[in-house]
Amino acid sequence: MKPQAIKLEPHDRFKKAIVGKKKGYYVYSYDLLVETCMEIHDCNEEDAIEWVDYNIVRLADCTGGFKVSYRKSL
């Protein structure tokens, strides 16, 4: 069974990091996730990278419900 596509919450903030949809999955830009995290948590880039790596990238690896792109463009 194919996993359900996952939207990160708060979606109204993280939707700007969506750079595509492939095979039913949302594809998020890593750089835009970090930028959004900096805005949401009012933190510096280093802390945002740590937060995104721990809380989002690991989730993407475990669930398969979305992908994180490290490329500048798709």
58 sits in which H/E element: helix 58-63
Whether 5 is covered by a domain: the verdict is no
pTM (predicted TM-score): 0.85
Whether 19 is covered by a domain: the verdict is yes
Structural domain including 32 reads: 11-69
Q: Give the model confidence (pLDDT) of 1-51 as tens digits.
A: 456 788 999 999 999 999 998 888 899 999 999 999 999 999 999 999 999
Whether 36 is covered by a domain: the verdict is yes
CB 62, CB 54: distance < 8 Å: no
Domain count, the chain: 1
pLDDT of residue 35: 97
Q: How many CB atoms lie within 10 A of CB 22?
A: 10
Q: What is the CA radius of gyration of the chain?
A: 12
- The amino acid that residue 20 corresponds to is G
28 sits in which H/E element: strand 25-29
